[in-house]
Amino acid sequence: MTQFDKKTILITGAATGIGRATARRFTDLGARIIIADLDGAGAEAAARDLPGGRARGLRCDVRDDAEVAQLRAAAGPVDILINNAAKPPITGPVIDTEITQWRDAFEVNVLGYVRMIRAFLPDMLTRGSGHIVNTSSGLALLPDPPIRFMGPYIASKGAQLSMSYAFFHALAGTGVSISVFCPGVTATSDRPGGPPPMGPNMPSPEDFRIGVPERRTVRVSAEHAAGVLVEGLIRGDFVICSQDGYLPDLIDFAEGNLDPQSIVRQAQAEAA
């Protein structure tokens, strides 16, 4: 028996990728899983793929207040809420990004998470127990140069980290806790080879290696990232990052006065 045995865990954006791998990992630990995804058929298929018959797949668009309310009614109270839904990260050169792209990223990656928390937190507070995970990004901790093509995404991921600080303090003493998951570069099932195909005016795969330490370009599997998340929750970590060696790099970044250029200098020194 594990600490997750018979716990109800709801994961958004879990029809594919890290979310789906996380659902499987928790199923193996005895949890009951609810997979919520904009792709309702995909959510149902992912749930059927999990052993034990304890999983459900439900459609939900986290941008829609009514759909989130419907999800809450269908799911009932949960023990762990994992906010994992996300807009695709790459939008092109940040100086050319349209305001609609910024709005779309925040609608899903920030307000969508807030909607989910507002829907499921009250039951946790009534029980005096529960846990929330907000999925940010390793790039919110270590802003490597490729974020110049990910303006809306990285801004929303930074907001997730900051709002999780706020919820951490707000929930102190309630019995409800919160973590931030920051995946590193991950080969998800829907993007096995890296960034999606690039169109005109979009970055090339090589653009994603410029100014980045080679070790931070190594892709891990979705299953590995899910394992790191589960291990971090077992330890009770606030920040959980699947980027190998992120903590020494984060310390170096802090000692560089959080100057993004210090990251580039580090990459150049390592390549020399």
In the chain, where the domains are located: 8-271
Specify the pLDDT at position 197. Answer: 45
Closest to 182 in 3D by CA, of 231, 235, 131, 138: 138
Give dist(CA 120, CA 10) in Å, integer. Answer: 10
Specify the pLDDT at position 129. Answer: 98
What stretches in the chain show pLDDT beneath 50?
A: 189-198
Closest to 116 in 3D by CA, of 14, 42, 4: 14
The owner of tokens 């974020």 is 147
Q: Which residues contact 33 (CB under 8 A, 6 or more apart)?
A: 9, 10, 11, 23, 26, 27, 47, 50, 54, 55, 56
How much is the mean pLDDT over the chain? 92
- Give Cα 190 to chain centroid, integer Å: 15
The owner of tokens 């995970």 is 133
Crossing angle of helices 17-28/40-48, nearest 10°? 30
Specify the pLDDT at position 258. Answer: 95
Contact 161, 142 (CB under 8 A): no
Specify the pLDDT at position 201. Answer: 65
Specify the pLDDT at position 46. Answer: 97
DSSP letter for 89, please: S
Specify the pLDDT at position 8. Answer: 98
Specify the pLDDT at position 271. Answer: 83
Specify the pLDDT at position 193. Answer: 36
Note the pTM of the prediction, 2 decimals. Answer: 0.92
CATH assignment, 8-271? 3.40.50.720
The owner of tokens 């307000």 is 111
The owner of tokens 């791998």 is 21
Give dist(CA 211, CA 269) in Å, integer. Answer: 10
* Catalytic residue (one of 113, 153, 165, 246): 153
**Residue 113 appears among annotated catalytic residues:** no
Grouping H, G, I as helix, E, B as strand and the rest as coil, residue 150 is: coil
